[in-house]
Amino acid sequence: MAQIQSYSNLDQGQFDKLVSQDFPFIISDCNFGSCLQKWNAEYLSSKLNGSSVKVHVSEEPVLNFLTKNFRYETQNFGEFLQKCAHPDGDQQYLYLRSIGVDKRGRDVADIQKHFPQIADDLVMPPFANFCTDIDCEEEGTTKCTKRHLFSSVFRISSKELVVWTHYDMVDNILLQVKGEKRVTLFPPSDAPFLYIRGDKSEIADLDQENIEAEYPLFSQATRLDCHLGEGDAIFIPALWFHTTKALQFSIGVNFFWKDRQLAAFYNRTDVYGNKDLIPAADAYSNVDKALKHLSKLPPKYRQFYLHMIIARLNKELTE
Amino acid sequence: MAQIQSYSNLDQGQFDKLVSQDFPFIISDCNFGSCLQKWNAEYLSSKLNGSSVKVHVSEEPVLNFLTKNFRYETQNFGEFLQKCAHPDGDQQYLYLRSIGVDKRGRDVADIQKHFPQIADDLVMPPFANFCTDIDCEEEGTTKCTKRHLFSSVFRISSKELVVWTHYDMVDNILLQVKGEKRVTLFPPSDAPFLYIRGDKSEIADLDQENIEAEYPLFSQATRLDCHLGEGDAIFIPALWFHTTKALQFSIGVNFFWKDRQLAAFYNRTDVYGNKDLIPAADAYSNVDKALKHLSKLPPKYRQFYLHMIIARLNKELTE
């Protein structure tokens, strides 16, 4: 498989062409605005100290969503930043993934709306051609061909923090504003080798020795690692499995956008951009029913029919 | 994988133990009764000349159920036997698989009932411990622990005739009365490699050169060949894929029986013993629905979710 390429001075046409190839790429030395010079723990504290944020807190650097080795805490933004950037001896690992403010979790993360105090520091990358009309009525039609932002997400984390391997239903670019980050990606076709439960991998720590002892299929996966410095951005296509490791105290921002072609299929209650497309959720539900039927049978017959169904689906894959 | 073993002088206990291992085996030099001495085209013609039979007729020796390179003809039993045993220059390949006489196809093949003129020539193998009460009311209960015959099937074929590779839902023993036969088997776990459609393989001719060019997965299958002589029987377990080739004009008989454990799951309209168990048919129907849902999605997403579902089913297989 190809490696992840890095580009600079991308224009809109080049970006569109690269995005259409459905393969991750880095855009180096972008101009995201004054945030690149301004943002650090002290500056953001001074601007956002009044607000509170819900953050992940763990005693371990590798967060595991499936075993839940972390808890959620609501903290003062300033105190969170201080602990995150300047850990004391009693090490805790902290991670903010900003979310909407609706208590029932029905709105999406939006930096402009939720953090207006620092919104002007951040400039949307021009190559990504986002529509500036946040209420654009022609979204999803062919009249407005710009990208429409689904969400913009703050990502702030302690040094060493690793976010679980997962996939999203929507494309995004991750801008690295402060600190350095390692991004590890796997193509969608690696689904069979990554022990996926829901949208997350059971393999929490990709740096553990001898992963194959516990996860034998992992040796068949195609791991792509890359490195983001300050001012770099990476395109992470929908369905690509990915995980990040903060090599330093890290501030980043994601911009997510939906694919017009899939407008009818997105789950409307999805604020994270990771819920399965409606026809896929329906398909899963039918597979659940199929398994329930097979569970009535003795193991020999159950296994036989599992083989038969897998063979059928494999045939569909090659057609 | 083990090879197919051959046993002689089996008693009931030995047979039961071997059957429970779900692996084919040969019982050599059995006593099936006087049919071994008596049955040939001339004898059967003299006894059965009045009756008519529905037979497969083809210009090719390798019958292909999926492409249907044969037709069904109703023939006088005596004339059929004559053409089958003594082909003239205008070679046709003929094959009888006896069936029930109900016009709507609702009863099963039963040699005793449908061919009483020769029924006494055939002795049920004592080791198989069949219940002699054909109306046994304790069938399927623990009160009668004998095997209950599901069907008994006449198999008469021209030299060289090959019957398509398929599996049955019920166990059977095939008695070879006249002529020699090659039997080829594959374990149920070979389903992914045999290009199965329904209960039949798309690979019509296992003797064709370079099968893998057309069917690349076939190289992963475990082919087991064995040879039946006159007076030999073979146990063919349910779900094992199998095909036969008559090395000479051939007369055989199958005895099929159902598994008491599955009594609730057999399809009651199944007269051939090859319809899928009810929970399996229900599971297939749910898989059809799942595929229909996925077909709404663009190829990239459809393929991704196929991978995800296959991974899930593979996990079920190993649990």
Q: Which residues of B touch A300 (CB under 8 A)?
A: 22, 188, 239
| Distance (Å) of CA A304 to CA B164, B190, B226 | 20, 9, 23
Give per-residue pLDDT as tens, A175-228: 999 999 999 999 999 999 999 998 999 998 999 989 999 999 999 999 999 999
pLDDT value at residue B105? 58
- The residues that bridge with A25 in the sheet, in sequence order, are A5, A235
pLDDT at A140 exceeding the cut of 70: no
**What does the pLDDT average to over B282-304?**
97
CA–CA separation, B89 and A291 (whole Å): 55
**What does the pLDDT average to over A286-291?**
98
End-to-end CA distance of chain A: 22
Structural Rg of chain A based on CA atoms: 21
Q: Taking CB atoms and an 8 Å limit, are B283 and A301 in contact across chains?
A: no
Domain spanning B5-275, CATH class: mainly beta
CA–CA separation, B174 and B182 (whole Å): 12
pLDDT value at residue A272? 84
Q: Which residues of A touch B301 (CB under 8 A)?
A: 239, 262, 277, 280
**Taking the CA of residue A117 as centre, how many other CA atoms within 13 Å lie in the half-sphere pointing to its CB?**
13
Express as a percent the part of chain A with pLDDT over 70.
Answer: 97
Q: Which residue of B has its CA nearest to A21?
A: B300
Q: Which residue of A has its CA nearest to B217?
A: A311
Nearest to B290 among A277, A283, A293 (CB): A283
Tell me the pTM.
Answer: 0.89
Is B268 strand, coil or helix? Answer: coil
Q: Which residue of A has its CA nearest to B265?
A: A297
| Distance (Å) of CA B303 to CA A63, A263, A318, B294, B300 | 29, 19, 9, 9, 5
pLDDT value at residue A145? 80
Q: Which residues of A touch B314 (CB under 8 A)?
A: 192, 310
The candidate with the shortest Cα–Cα distance to B108, out of B149, B76, B54, is: B149
Nearest to A298 among B191, B261, B313 (CB): B261
pLDDT value at residue B106? 62
Taking one residue from A and the other from B, the number of pairs with CB-CB distance under 8 angstroms is 147
Chain A residues contacting B via beta carbons under 8 Å: 22, 188-189, 191-192, 196, 239, 261-262, 265, 276-277, 279-280, 282-284, 286-287, 289-291, 293-294, 296-298, 300-301, 303-314, 316-317
Q: Taking CB atoms and an 8 Å limit, are A304 and B239 in contact across chains?
A: yes
pLDDT at B71 exceeding the cut of 70: yes
Q: Taking CB atoms and an 8 Å limit, are B313 and A287 in contact across chains?
A: yes
Give per-residue pLDDT as tens, B100-154: 776 565 678 888 888 899 999 999 898 998 887 767 777 767 777 888 888 889 9
The domain spans of chain A are 5-275, 280-318
The candidate with the shortest Cα–Cα distance to B19, out of B112, B130, B109, B108, is: B130
Residue B13 burial (10 A CB sphere; 0-12, 13-18, 19+): exposed
**What does the pLDDT average to over B195-213?**
92
Q: Which residue of B has its CA nearest to A276?
A: B305
| φ, ψ for residue B265, nearest 5 deg | -105, -15
